[in-house]
Amino acid sequence: MPSRHVRATMSTATLTRNTDSSQPLVDLLEERWSPRAFDPEATIDDDALDALLEAARWAPSAANLQPRRFIVGRRGTETFRAIESHLVGFNRAWAFRASALIVAIAEVATADGDARRWAEYDLGQSIAALAVQAHAEGLHVHQMGGFEVDGLRDAFGLPDRFVPVTVSAIGTVADPSVLDEQAAARETAPRTRLPLDEIVLVKE
Ligand SMILES: Cc1cc2nc3c(=O)[nH]c(=O)nc-3n(C[C@H](O)[C@H](O)[C@H](O)COP(=O)(O)O)c2cc1C
C-alpha cells in the first residue's frame, strides 16, 4: 500500500498532523498528536475531564493493582499554578495556555515497601488511554517529562513511593501563531517515526 502523505493543514484554528503510517490505523490513533499551541481561552468541563480520567482508570494493569494516581488542576486554580511552576523553562513557555495540567504518578511500592515492578508501565498505559479519549472529546494532550520531580513532590506532599512521572497539558488546539517562531515551526513540522523494520527485531 502506498504510504499516505503527512497532512499539516490548518483551517481557522484547527491544525491536523496525521500520521504517515504504512497501514491504515483507527481514526483516533491516526489523528492524535501533541500540540504546544493551546487556546488560552478554552476551558474543559467536568464531564470531559472525568471522561479522560475514566479512560485512565479503565486501562489494564499488572494483576489489576492499578498503581496510578493523578493530580488534576484546571487553568486558573491554585493546583494548576503549583504544577505549572514546576515545569522546566521550555515547557513553561507554552503549557500555561492549557485548559488543565495532570500529574501522572506511579505508585512504585506498597505502603509496606513491596516494589510494584510494572507501576510505570501501567501508568503509561493509562495516559495512552487518556490521550485517545481526549481526542474523542475534541481535546489534545501533550505529555511532558520536563519538570522538577522533587519540587512537585514537595508541593503536594507526596510520599517517596508516589513518583511523579509526567505532566500532561490538556486543551483545545489553537493557531500555531500563539507560539514563538521556533516553537511554531516545530508545531507544523512533519511528524516522524523510526521505520517498522527498525523497531520490530523479529517478525516471522
Ligand atoms: C514521557 C514523555 C515525555 C515527554 N516530554 C516532553 C517535554 O518535556 N516537552 C515537550 O515539549 N514534549 C514532550 N513530550 C512529547 C514528545 O516529544 C512527543 O510525544 C513526540 O515528539 C511525538 O510527537 P506526537 O505525540 O505529536 O506524535 C514527551 C512525551 C512523552 C511520552
What is the 166 CA–ligand 1 centroid distance (Å)? 10
- Tell me which of 11-20, 36-45, 124-133 is least confident: 11-20
Region 148-161 average pLDDT: 97
Instruction: Look at ligand 1, atom 12, and give the residue with the nearest C-alpha.
Output: 144
Domains of the chain: total:
1
Helices (H) and strands (E) in the chain, counts: 8, 6
List alpha helices for 62-117, DSSP H: 78-84, 89-95
* 180 occurs within a structural domain: yes
Q: Would you say residue 15 has pLDDT above 90?
A: no
Region 29-49 average pLDDT: 96
Amino acid at 204: E
What is the 140 CA–ligand 1 centroid distance (Å)? 12
Give the three cell numbers for residue 40. 488560552
Q: Would you say residue 12 has pLDDT above 50?
A: no
pLDDT of residue 4: 34
pLDDT category of residue 14 using cuts at 50, 70 and 90: low
* 176 occurs within a structural domain: yes
The per-residue pLDDT of the chain, averaged, comes to 92
* 138 occurs within a structural domain: yes
Residue 191 sits in a domain of what CATH number?
3.40.109.10
Region 34-45 average pLDDT: 97
pLDDT of residue 22: 86
Atom of ligand 1 nearest to the CA of 19: 27
Cβ of residue 172 lying under 6 Å from some atom of ligand 1: no
What is the 78 CA–ligand 1 centroid distance (Å)? 25
Domain membership of residue 37 as a residue range: 6-199
* 81 occurs within a structural domain: yes
Cβ of residue 126 lying under 6 Å from some atom of ligand 1: no
Region 160-168 average pLDDT: 98
Partnered with residue 68 across adjacent β-strands are 106
**The model's pTM:** 0.93
Instruction: Look at ligand 1, atom 31, and give the residue with the nearest C-alpha.
Output: 143
* 1 occurs within a structural domain: no
* 204 occurs within a structural domain: no
* 145 occurs within a structural domain: yes
* 127 occurs within a structural domain: yes
Region 143-164 average pLDDT: 98
Cβ of residue 18 lying under 6 Å from some atom of ligand 1: no
pLDDT category of residue 40 using cuts at 50, 70 and 90: very high
Instruction: Look at ligand 1, atom 7, and give the residue with the nearest C-alpha.
Output: 144
Report strand pairing: 100-107 vs 68-74: antiparallel
HEC-encoded secondary structure of 106-123: EECECCCCCECCCHHHHH
Yes or no: say if 167 and 87 are a contact pair by the CB < 8 Å rule.
Answer: yes
pLDDT of residue 2: 33
